[in-house]
Structure 1
Amino acid sequence: MNFDLTDEQVQLQDAVQRWVDKSYTFDHYRATVKHGGFDRDNYAQLADLGLCGLLVAQDHGGLGMGPVEAMLVMQALGAGLVLEPLTHTFITSSVLARFAPSDLQARWLPGVASGETLAVLAWQERSSRYRPEKCEAKAAPSQQIYALTATKNIVQAGDQADAFIVPALLDGALALFWVESAASGVQTRGYLTQNGSRAADVTLNQTQATLITRDGLAALELAIDVGLAAACAQGVGLMDKTLRLTADYLNTR
């Protein structure tokens, strides 16, 4: 098995690392935390680097890359303590590409790739205890669309997002829906998390939604897998940076 990176992968990682070193210093991180844990300008800069479209097919304005490139990017961002939720952009891209009908992909993926649309996964509920199959949110058909009633907790950048991917029960089975944050019945309560990033509790009250897939559990498991892999890559980047800083400090003593 060959673990060597291609020239393109090295260039991608180097470009992200240069952006972190230049534009996301520790002082910048602290300022972002002080101002609420999310900066749309930072997210726009990630989009300018092409990162929001990393996993989006070229037909929809993305780069059409894969999980190796995504993990290299997250490793570089982890080393810089970057708070903006690019992980959720990767989740959105993966779920829509795998499970959404082609017309919905054409409608939403270009905005995700350009950074114009920030969509995040809203799946956790207080009673679920991290079990994806346990869900109290309900969906009901309503004039060729669906109406969702749900409360989702610890939604990353939930009060800043443009849209949500929401699991809910439809006819007794888990399905996945797309909900725009501007839709009627959406309420959010934002707060800082322990690492300084922003999250929110999101409440939906008979909110209009579009069905992504009735194969909700498989889609949600994919989303969680992508998120876990990204978190691990961030952790590797952070640990590597911490090790290098520690070694540099000891060498100067």
Structure 2
Amino acid sequence: MDFTLTDEQRMLRDLVERIAGEQNRSDPSRTMAAIGGFNACFWRELADVGLLAATLPESCGGLDAGPVATMLIMAAFGRHLVLSPYVSTVVWAAALLARAGTQSQQQQYLPPILDGDDIFALGYGEGEDDSDTEHIQTVAHRKADGYEIEGRKSLVLGARWSRHLVVVARISDEQADAGRATVGAFITPMDSEGIEARHYQTIDGASASDIRFRKLFVPASARIGGGIDLRDALERIWDEATVALCADATGSMEAALSATVQYARTRKQFGKPIGSFQVLQHRMVDMLLAREQSAAITHRAALALDDALPARHRAVSAAKSLVGRHGRFVMQSAVQIHGGIGTTDELDVSHHFRRIEMFNLQLGTVDHHVQRYAALLDQA
């Protein structure tokens, strides 16, 4: 498999690296975390240079750069500790609208997203198991002129920042193939009556919410795609979002490794830089190998997103499980080499550690993906 980047992809990588690096220097994510927000000016700059449109199809106003572009963007965000609603707004909401939305929905919602004027949160997970659509218990009951939604969602990232929420729910009294309930998604303003949100800060400094829906009414026009079953589209985008998070984690691992190597060159014990000690040299080599393996398997998963099932699922689960294990190893090693200072807010290493821990809590744990991969081995 060829992992060589094209000239356009290298230009995209350099552009995102520059913008993300400037954001990190002028407004570190830990500062934004302290006020529970994100850098709105940075978000606007992403829109101005076309990065919010990079991965969407040309028919929807995008640049059709593909999943490798998402990987490059997210890796830069990870390296520079960027807090943003990119995954929920672009990878989830915009992609779902582009793939399954009606023409009127695309015309209404996509231009404000691409211009940086609208931010979306995604209500998908409902507990520890958010790996596929089978776990969804939130229900949309059909009414004469719309739907009434009952249920709850957990760990809804960026809801505090968002104007709109996409709610994934089972449709009552509707069945798709194999007798399974039809799964739909609905767009509703975050301030709608019937939404009760409890906001909190996650360990990596981002914002998340637990949301309860009590007789939330949405008009029929708010159902993405009209009356179609979105199960396959949602599971495809779930895989894409998982790969995006893996790319973010590999970028974070790279930054932590770089900081550790630099620290080992300057920190002295017994009159010598600690980087001259062979045991630490071996540990940093192991960190490098873990990072390179993680980057390679993430790139492999990004290229496999267009593969047929179950090959796509296998590639995604292999990446999520390996990046999760290697990411924790790299961060634990980075803190160990830094010593106690590695756990303080003053150093980026501690923030990268928290970012990896948050990564391991999203879209399936390491154990879940190992089990999923094993189950998929029996499928052709």
TM-score by length of 2: 0.62
Instruction: Supply the distance in 1 between the matched residues of 2:109 and 2:211 (Cα, whole angstroms).
Output: 21
Deviates more, 1:76-85 or 1:97-106: 97-106
Give the letter aligned to residue 204 of structure 1.
F
Give the letter aligned to residue 249 of structure 1.
Y
Give the letter aligned to residue 120 of structure 1.
A
Give the letter aligned to residue 112 of structure 2.
G
1:34 Cα shift? 0.5
Per-residue CA shift, 1:173-229, capped at 9, x if unaligned?
222222222332223221100111111112222223311144232232123212111
Deviates more, 1:110-119 or 1:55-64: 55-64
Give runs of aligned pairs for residues 6-17 of structure 1, distance below 5 A.
6-17=6-17
Counterpart among 218, 221, 224 of residue 212 in structure 1: 224
Indicate conservation of the 8 Å contact 1:136/1:169, yes or no.
Answer: yes
The structure in which a higher percent of residues are strand is 1
Indicate conservation of the 8 Å contact 1:91/1:223, yes or no.
Answer: yes
1:59 Cα shift? 4.0
Give runs of aligned pairs for residues 74-85 of structure 1, distance below 5 A.
74-85=74-85
Counterpart among 200, 207, 213 of residue 198 in structure 1: 207
The alignment's C-alpha RMSD in Å is: 2.0
Tell me, what secondary structure is at the counterpart of 2:64? coil
TM-score by length of 1: 0.90
Give the letter aligned to residue 60 of structure 1.
C
Instruction: Supply the distance in 2 between the matched residues of 1:25 and 1:229 (Cα, whole angstroms).
Output: 27
Unaligned segments of structure 1, at least 5 residues: none
How many residues are treated as equivalent by the alignment? 252
- Report what 1:251 is aligned to: 265
Please identify the structure whose Cα radius of gyration is greater. 2
1:119 Cα shift? 1.2
The structure in which a higher percent of residues are helix is 2
Instruction: Supply the distance in 2 between the matched residues of 1:190 and 1:48 (Cα, whole angstroms).
Output: 29
Query: Alignment identity in percent?
Result: 31
Higher relative contact order (CA 8 A, sep 6+): 1
Give the letter aligned to residue 233 of structure 2.
A
Q: Which consecutive aligned stretches of 4+ in structure 1 deviate over 4 angstroms post-superposition?
A: none
Give the letter aligned to residue 31 of structure 2.
A
- Report what 2:312 is aligned to: none
- Report what 1:54 is aligned to: 54
Tell me, what secondary structure is at the counterpart of 1:5? coil
Unaligned segments of structure 2, at least 5 residues: 175-180, 267-272, 274-380
Give runs of aligned pairs for residues 1-253 of structure 1, distance below 5 A.
1-25=1-25, 28-88=28-88, 89-126=90-127, 129-132=129-132, 133-170=134-171, 171-172=173-174, 173=181, 174-209=183-218, 210-213=222-225, 214-252=228-266, 253=273
Instruction: Supply the distance in 2 between the matched residues of 1:152 and 1:4 (Cα, whole angstroms).
Output: 40
1:37 Cα shift? 4.2
Indicate conservation of the 8 Å contact 1:47/1:115, yes or no.
Answer: yes
1:160 Cα shift? 1.8
